[in-house]
């Protein structure tokens, strides 16, 4: 079988959803560059591209809350990715398990699993 060619378009980035491989919970959304996808496939650990810092980064590189990638899926247009992951600790830098921990009404619906001040000193 041949690899699917991901369409990174003019920006050189595609969105990637990280989803818990077991529970199906959506953990986060981030950007992926060709290099980030290559590193993810090589190492089995989730890599992304930070648009604000303009650099490649491994999820959990500073916090230790890594994502072990069980599978990478591509959508029908080949311009978005789905990382099915086993999350160690929390996925969100705010200390929550998922970045989607609140509703648009401001209600908190997710659990905080670590203290970000203790992790990101």
Strands of the sheet with 26-32, listed across from one edge = 55-58, 47-50, 26-32, 14-20, 81-87, 67-74
Q: Is 107 annotated as ligand-binding?
A: no
Q: What is the mean pLDDT of residues 8-36?
A: 98
Return mean pLDDT, the chain: 95
Q: Is 115 annotated as ligand-binding?
A: no
Q: Is 20 annotated as ligand-binding?
A: no
Q: Is 76 annotated as ligand-binding?
A: yes
Q: Which long-range contacts (CB under 8 A, 24 or more apart) does 111-117 make?
A: 113/89, 114/63, 114/65, 114/89, 114/90
pTM over 0.75: yes
Q: Is 79 annotated as ligand-binding?
A: yes
Residue 2 has pLDDT above 70, yes or no: no
pLDDT tens for 42-86 read: 999 999 999 999 999 999 998 999 999 999 999 999 999 999 999
**What topology does CATH give the domain 14-114?**
Ubiquitin-like (UB roll) (3.10.20)
């Amino acid at each position: 079988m041949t690899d699917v060619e991901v369409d990174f378009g003019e920006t050189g980035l595609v969105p990637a959803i990280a989803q818990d491989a077991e529970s199906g919970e959506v953990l986060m959304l981030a950007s992926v560059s060709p290099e980030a996808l290559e590193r993810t496939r090589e190492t089995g650990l989730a890599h992304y591209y930070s648009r604000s810092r303009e650099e490649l980064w491994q999820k959990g590189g500073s916090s230790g809350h890594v994502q072990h990638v069980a599978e990478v899926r591509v959508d029908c247009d080949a311009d978005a990715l789905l990382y099915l992951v086993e999350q160690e600790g929390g996925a969100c830098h705010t200390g929550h398990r998922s970045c989607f921990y609140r509703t648009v009404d401001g209600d908190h619906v997710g659990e905080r699993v670590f203290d970000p001040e203790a992790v990101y000193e």
